[in-house]
Amino acid sequence: MSAKGGEARFLLAKGAGRQMGLLIYLDGAFIPREEARVSVFDHGYLYGDGVFEGIRAYDGRVFKLEEHLERLYDGAHHIMLQVPLNRRELAAATLETLRRNGLQDAYIRIVVSRGVGDLGLDPRKCPRATVVIIADKISLFPQEYYEKGLAVVTAATRQRCSDTIEPRIKSLNYLNNILVKIEAVQAGVMEAIMLNTQGYVVEGSGSNVFIVNKKGELITPPTYLGILEGITRNTVMELALAAGLPVREDIFTRHDLYTARECFLTGTAAELIPVISVDRRTIGAGIPGDLTRRLMERFHTYVRSTGIPYA
């Protein structure tokens, strides 16, 4: 793929003019979803070797694109993965993917894998990374749960230790999170919360955790516990501080979770969603709390008034 004047140039795959639904960006070309293919020798498929980002677009604006790309490139740098596009080119490709699919509100998935190699682990056998951008709709939870709240459980699966794999790398290996999601499904709920090996609350299968304690303080686990530093998490903290709400990062246990006045989860796909019970212990009054609702309203207003326009 070549670039001119810092802007990405794109190819339209044969047949893509007869759009068969979604168009997928794949290594510089836009290909109908039904025809988009990645090699079985790609190390992203074989070993989960790569990084990704989930991003949202609201009303024709991409929310926190620069922050997401910074995390993507930081993770790629950490694992010595050379992204074949610079940030400006990847941003342009992301916006163009949204335009070509005619999406005003969307979930965007950028995937950069190690690329095609052999059956060995050696990343030097992969001469060029594979870049995929998907723009589509997403709905993690039915709307009724945003209004009435989620019941969740705590998972037996523990968070991976941060001294083994750096949690700030949003890698393609999500098996630990999938095991947590399986526990939620087996328990008959839609989400589960992980603890670390010391018993402290860390995060959900794909979300960050917040509680409101009896003093009215908004608390979320600190990053040093081994959580992914969520961009929605950071946005919520900024909105809370701007509104004069007491917010801090601190450790807490299941007991603090059970006895919290309020609880909610945050994530790019989930946004903000209230939690009304944990392990069958009712949280607060068993309905979404006032502070949670206020932050949900502020967040929804904020995301639709900021971001990079592309329409």
Cβ neighbours of residue 7 closer than 8 Å, sequence gap 6 or more: 88, 89, 92
Q: Cα separation of 49 and 160, whole Å?
A: 17
Nearest 5°: CA angle at 52, between 48 and 58?
150
Q: Is 4 part of the annotated catalytic residue set?
A: no
From the list 48, 60, 150, the residue with the least C-alpha distance to 105 is: 60
Three-state secondary structure call for residue 139: coil
Cβ neighbours of residue 48 closer than 8 Å, sequence gap 6 or more: 171, 172, 173, 174, 175
- DSSP assignments along 51-108, one per residue: EEEEEEEETTEETTHHHHHHHHHHHHHHTT---SS-HHHHHHHHHHHHHHHT-SSEEE
Which region, left, alpha or beta, applies to residue 21 given φ > 0 means left and ψ of -120 to 50 means alpha? left
Q: Cα separation of 23 and 73, whole Å?
A: 24
> Which of 170, 181, 214, 215 does the annotation list as catalytic?
170
Nearest 5°: CA angle at 271, between 161 and 51?
45
* CA quadruple 101, 107, 108, 109: dihedral, nearest 10: -130
The residues annotated with a catalytic role in the active site are 170
